[in-house]
Amino acid sequence: QLYRVPNTGRHIVTLTYLTFAIQGQCNVSPDGRWISFLADNSVWVTDAAGGSPRRLTARSHDAQAPVGGALWSHRGDRLVYNRYDAEGFLQIYTISAF
């Protein structure tokens, strides 16, 4: 799960209640309002203040083709991620964050 923990360590907020694991790191948008993360072999975003996470990409059922990245553009309106294509080549994709 994702949690927001203030510098004081108090008032920890749970941001996700997913039934599957989060894969690796998460990334905060340039304006600090959104968090991108990988879970269930898909790219997701959630509001940093709390709310329902949104899946942005289709789930890949191929365990050999995991999704990676989910980094924000400098304007915070797009995400870049990578995924292996059907031929086994790693490709870089961009997607609207909203």
Find the helix or strand (DSSP H, E) in which 27 lies: strand 27-28
Q: How far apart are CA 69 and CA 5, in angstroms?
A: 23
**Tokens 């799960």 label which residue?**
1
pLDDT of residue 64: 67
pLDDT of residue 86: 83
Q: How far apart are CA 87 and CA 98, in angstroms?
A: 29
Please report which residue ranges of 37-81 form alpha helices under DSSP H. none
Q: Report CA torsion sign: 78, 16, 24, 19.
A: negative
Token pair for 61: 């059922």
Q: What averages of pLDDT result for each successive group of 10 residues across the chain (98 residues)?
A: 89 92 92 96 94 91 80 97 89 95
pLDDT of residue 77: 97
pLDDT of residue 40: 92
